[in-house]
Amino acid sequence: MDNVNLFISLVEAHRYTGYAILFFSLIFEGELFMLAAGVLSHLGAFDIGDVFWISLSGVLFGDILWYWAGRFIKDRYPEQRLIRFVEKRVKKAFPAIEYNPFKLIFISKFLYGLNHSTILVLGFMKVEFWHFLRVQVKASLLWVTIFLGLGYFFGYTALSITHKLNKFIAILVAIFILFLIFEKIVDHFVEKRTSQPENCRQNLKK
Q: What is the pTM of this model?
A: 0.82
Q: Residue 171 — φ and ψ, nearest 5°?
A: -65, -40
Q: Is the pLDDT of residue 206 over 60?
A: no
In angstroms, the CA 201 to CA 95 distance is 9
Residue 146 neighbours by CB under 8 Å, 6+ apart: none
- What pLDDT shows up at residue 202? 46
- What pLDDT shows up at residue 1? 46
Q: Which residue has the higher pLDDT, 101 or 13?
A: 13
Which of these, 44, 45, 51, lies nearest to 19 by C-alpha position?
Answer: 51
In angstroms, the CA 197 to CA 199 distance is 6
The model's pLDDT over 122-175, given as tens digits with 9 standing for 90+, comes to: 988 888 899 889 989 999 999 999 999 999 999 999 888 888 888 888 999 999
- What pLDDT shows up at residue 68? 94
Q: Is the pLDDT of residue 190 over 80?
A: no
The model's pLDDT over 10-64, given as tens digits with 9 standing for 90+, comes to: 888 899 999 999 999 998 877 889 999 999 999 999 999 999 999 999 999 999 9
In angstroms, the CA 127 to CA 146 distance is 27
- What pLDDT shows up at residue 166? 86
Residue type at 11 in one-letter notation: V
Which of these, 93, 91, 108, 116, lies nearest to 192 by C-alpha position?
Answer: 93
Least confident of 29-33, 162-166, 179-183, 186-190: 186-190
- What pLDDT shows up at residue 197? 53
